[in-house]
Amino acid sequence: MSNTKKGLPGLSASIKDKLIQQALERKLRQAGQEHGQRAMPQALTRKSAIPEEFYRFDMHPGYRQLRIMNEGAARMGVRSPFFKLHEGTASAETKIGGKTYVNYASYNYLGMSDDPVVQAAARQAMERYGTSVSASRLVSGERPIHRELERALAEVYEVEDAITFVSGHATNVSTIGYLFGPRDLILHDEFIHNSVLQGTQLSGARRLPFPHNDWAALDAILEDQRHQFERVLIVLEGIYSMDGDFPDLPRFVDIKRRHKAFLMVDEAHSLGVMGKRGYGIREHFGLAGKDVDIWMGTLSKTLAGCGGYIAGETALVEHLKFLAPGFLYSVGMPPSVAAASLAALRRMQELPERVATLQARGKYFLELAQAAGIDTGSSSGLAVVPAIIQSSLKAARLSAALFRQGINVQPILYPAVPEKSARLRFFISCCHTEEQLRSTVNILSREL
């Protein structure tokens, strides 16, 4: 039969793509299995040769897996959608390669990154304090702008104090990694951010995921497990950045109280997005600040800066300031970044209409997409709306097709998500117009 000849001429393009994709997935699985097998190598005798893969980066299993992915994409005719070079502020629009695109790949939810007041605050702080504080805050890096920002964050959450870190990812890693230990239990939503997983690994605590947003499953685990551990931490997100949905927080507050556990909420994507004033999931549900033990968030989304924060009671914050390695041994946040985030927070408070517009635009986009038959999963339409494609190859090609038509949206591919969950992920901002959203959904629907 002619189908056995080179090039598979008797097969349709879609079947060829499917065969290539299946081969790619097999190679990825094999690479992962080889990595697992090599994780515990047999002891080497003094005279035995050291395998090259133990001292060459180009033979590292992770790099080999990356090469397999890239080579597979190249064979399928898919260019990498990553590391696009933006030539200005990335808001509802961005410029790439000299061309303007409608942009859905930015967390600039309230348009604060290019707000003149925010930019002026950053310049003034830099001129006054320099480009860096040049030391850990504990020894010589403390500046008034740091404390102003932390007090403002504590006021938003109606708690006693707050602490800021120079990295959002490191905020979770350092806080969880330091506060909990081998005799503790950390329970988290199955879709929790990587930073929580890394922090848990650092802590040495036992880790148990529970089904997404399933408070009843969490309750059952605690009924069975709570008595075996000292401290127990439950970790949720305000808005899940892959799916755009959120937990029934009051249910989780009740559970943590009954089981004498700590509750931590990561508000990276919900501050500025949820609640009438943008105060996050706490305002959305009308909860008190003390209902959650550890409020965490990032400064790089709504607050137009970089870094993260923890807000809560004085004992928590003071403890982290003096003893958490990720704060103690790290340089203080640049004054310009702290000033930008503080100005963005104050602008959010002065301009609640931006929050209302963002919520309206997100809802509008979600309704248009659902009406067009696009699978948006469990998204609530609050700034994050996925278009689930169920194929990494199709998602990558769809992203490229939209890019050719002036729309910049990133695909989320296997192994970042399961293959059946491959998607395009749309981040909506208050700066998007209804016309941009309508046009995008029309083009997306047509290409699908």
DSSP string, 23-40: HHHHHHHHHHHHHHHHSS
pLDDT tens column, 84-108:
899 989 999 999 999 999 999 999 9
Q: Contact at 8 Å (CB) between 348 and 112?
A: yes
Contact criterion met (CB below 8 Å) for 134 and 140: yes
Sign of CA dihedral 182, 183, 185, 186: negative
Q: What is the pLDDT of residue 80?
A: 81
Answer yes or no: is 424 within a domain. yes
Section 430-445 average pLDDT? 98
Strand partners, 102: 93, 407
**Is the pLDDT score of 5 beyond 50?**
no
pLDDT band at residue 200, thresholds of 50, 70 and 90?
very high
Amino acid found at 329? Y
Is residue 221 a part of any domain in this protein?
A: yes
The verdict on residue 168 lying in a domain is yes
**Average confidence (pLDDT) over 357-380:** 98
418 prior amide bond cis, ω within 30: no
Q: What is the pLDDT of residue 33?
A: 60
C-alpha to C-alpha distances, 285 to 67, 221, 337, 361, 429, nearest whole angstrom: 46, 25, 30, 21, 22
Distance CA 155, CA 59 (A): 51
Residue 41 confidence class, pLDDT cut points 50, 70, 90: low
Any idea of the CA torsion for 369, 371, 372, 377, to the nearest 10 degrees?
A: 50
- Rounded to an integer, what is the distance from CA 177 to the centroid of its chain? 19
> Which amino acid, one-letter code, is at 263?
L
Average pLDDT of span 421-425: 95
- Percent residues over pLDDT 90 in the chain: 79
Q: What is the mean pLDDT of the chain?
A: 91
233, containing H or E segment: strand 232-237
Count of domains forming the chain: 2
**Residue 10, pLDDT above cutoff 60:** no
Together in a domain, 206 and 248: yes
Examine the domain organization and report whether 417 and 283 are in the same domain: no
Last residue of a domain, one of 333, 360, 379: 333
Residues 6+ apart with CB under 8 A from 210: 187, 188, 189, 190, 217, 218, 221
Strands in 97-189 per DSSP E: 99-103, 161-165, 185-189
Say if residue 160 is in the same domain as residue 294.
yes
**Boundary residue ending a domain (278, 300, 333):** 333
- Cβ atoms 266, 237 nearer than 8 A: yes
Is residue 328 located within the same domain as residue 364? no
Say yes or no: 165 and 292 in one domain. Answer: yes
Whether residue 154 sits in one domain with residue 296: yes
Is the pLDDT at 7 greater than 60, yes or no?
A: no
* Separation of alpha carbons 356 and 166, rounded Å: 30
Do 429 and 292 share a domain, yes or no? no
Q: Which backbone phi and psi does 371 adopt, to 5 degrees?
A: -65, -30
Nearest to 428 by CA among 364, 378, 373: 364
Q: Which of 275, 299, 333 is the last residue of a domain?
A: 333
Residues 105 and 216 in one domain: no
Structure tokens at 303: 């607050």
**CATH number for 174:** 3.40.640.10
Give yes or no: residues 165 and 313 share one domain: yes
Integer Cα distance of 320 and 326 in angstroms: 9
Which residues, in sequence order, are CB contacts of 91 under 8 Å at separation 6+?
103, 106, 108, 111, 113, 114, 429, 431
- Residue 71, pLDDT score: 80
Q: Is residue 257 in a domain?
A: yes
Identify the band that residue 34 occupies on the pLDDT scale cut at 50, 70 and 90. low
Residues 93 and 172 in one domain: no
Q: How far is CA 400 from CA 81, 157, 366, 393, 411, in A?
A: 7, 41, 22, 11, 9
Pair (143, 192) in one structural domain: yes
The answer to the question of residue 63 being in a domain is no
Of the pLDDT bands very low, low, confident and very high (cuts 50, 70, 90), residue 74 is confident
> What contacts 24+ positions apart, CB below 8 Å, involve 249-255?
249/281, 249/282, 249/284, 249/285, 249/287, 249/292, 250/285, 250/287, 251/215, 252/215, 252/218, 253/287, 253/291, 253/292, 255/215, 255/218, 255/219, 255/222
Question: Is residue 263 domain-resident?
Answer: yes
pTM (two decimals) = 0.89
What CATH code is carried by the domain that includes residue 421? 3.90.1150.10
Read off φ and ψ for residue 352, nearest 5 degrees: -60, -20
Distance CA 167, CA 289 (A): 23
- pLDDT band for position 149 (50/70/90)? very high
Range(s) of the domain holding residue 146? 133-333
State yes or no: pLDDT of 333 exceeds 80. Answer: yes
Q: Is position 198 within any domain?
A: yes
Cα–Cα dist 141/19, whole Å: 57
Give the confidence band of 31 by pLDDT, cuts at 50, 70, 90: low
Residue 84 lies in a domain: yes
Q: 370 and 221, same structural domain?
A: no
Q: What is the DSSP letter of 193?
A: -
Using alpha carbons, select from 422, 423, 417 the residue that is nearest to residue 385.
423
Spatial distance between the Cα atoms of 299 and 376, rounded to a whole number of angstroms? 27
